[in-house]
């Protein structure tokens, strides 16, 4: 046996254990322990952590989405309130829907959605529908909107009627945000009363 082969066998003996497994090299030196792989226990622990994180994040994502929809809903009602006030000021009266359309829901909403489309109002049909309703109904295109989420109060033609008696201008059809157990309501001063809080406000 040559000196080189002896040296090779000696070096190999320093880097492997008696079963032929390589030693780990930690901190620049050999630890004398076999190299460890990614164990099944570590894999299961990693999966468990991922499952916990997903279970925590999923409800949080839904909560944030609902909160954003509620804020957008109220902003849309305020924009509609501005348009209603502008219309009343420009024309000297609240929008007067023909009585023949009151009993036909399709005609009712078609009339209201069309009134504020032209300038200077430029209120699209998309702004008449609550984003939560839009999502739950699966509406993805503005042209598919044939109804509104905010029912206008039917004031008479008096120029000051909408500002009397602190009556709401718009009432959300249904309670989609569960803030106080009722619908949002837009008041004549532009404020939003959320849900059941209206019952106490009405008694003031």
> Percent of the chain beyond pLDDT 70?
74
Question: What average pLDDT does this structure show over 85-97?
Answer: 95
Instruction: Specify the pLDDT at position 50.
Output: 87
DSSP state of 99: G
φ, ψ at 16 (rounded to 5°) = -135, 150
DSSP 101-143: GTT-HHHHHHHHHHHTSSTTT---GGGGS-HHHHHHHT---GG
Q: Which helix (H) or strand (E) holds 90?
A: helix 40-91
**Mean pLDDT score of the chain, rounded to an integer?**
79
Residue 200 pLDDT more than 50? no
For the segment 6-35, the average pLDDT, to the nearest whole number, is: 50
In the predicted model, is pLDDT for residue 90 greater than 80?
Answer: yes
Does the pTM surpass 0.95? The reply is: no
In this prediction, residue 17 has a pLDDT band, given cuts at 50, 70 and 90, of low
Condensed to tens digits (0 to 9), the pLDDT of residues 28-69 reads 444 555 445 568 888 888 888 888 887 777 777 778 888 899
**Is it the case that residue 140 has pLDDT exceeding 60?**
yes
| Closest C-alpha to 66, from 149, 125, 135, 127 | 135
Q: Which of 84-88, 117-121, 144-148 has the highest mean pLDDT?
A: 84-88
Model pLDDT for residues 98-134, shown as the tens digit of each residue: 999 999 999 999 999 999 888 888 899 999 999 999 9
pLDDT given at position 6: 45
Q: Burial code of 73-98, b = ≥16 C-beta within 10 A, e = fewer?
A: bbebbeebbebbbebbeeeebbbeee
pLDDT at 179 over 70: no
Question: Span 143-158, mean pLDDT?
Answer: 92
Find residue 193's DSSP bridge partners. Answer: 185
- Confidence band, pLDDT 50/70/90 cuts, at residue 183: confident
């Amino acid at each position: 046996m040559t000196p080189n082969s002896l040296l090779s066998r000696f070096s190999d003996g320093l880097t492997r254990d008696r079963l032929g497994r390589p030693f780990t090299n930690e901190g620049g030196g050999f630890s004398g322990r076999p190299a460890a792989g990614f164990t099944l226990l570590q894999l299961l622990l990693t999966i468990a952590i991922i499952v916990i994180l997903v279970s925590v994040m999923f409800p949080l994502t839904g909560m944030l989405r609902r909160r954003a929809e509620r804020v957008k809903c109220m902003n849309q009602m305020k924009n509609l309130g501005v348009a209603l006030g502008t219309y009343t000021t420009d024309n000297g009266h609240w929008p007067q829907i023909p009585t023949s359309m009151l009993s036909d829901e399709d005609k009712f909403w078609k009339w209201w959605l069309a009134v504020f489309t032209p300038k200077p109002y430029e209120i699209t049909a998309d702004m008449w529908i609550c984003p939560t309703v839009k999502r739950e109904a699966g509406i993805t295109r503005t042209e598919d909107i044939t109804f509104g989420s905010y029912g206008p109060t039917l004031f008479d033609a008096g120029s000051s009627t909408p500002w009397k008696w602190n009556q709401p201008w718009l009432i959300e059809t249904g309670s989609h945000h569960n803030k106080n157990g009722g619908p949002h309501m837009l008041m004549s001063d532009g404020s939003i009363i959320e849900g059941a809080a209206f019952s106490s406000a009405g008694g003031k």
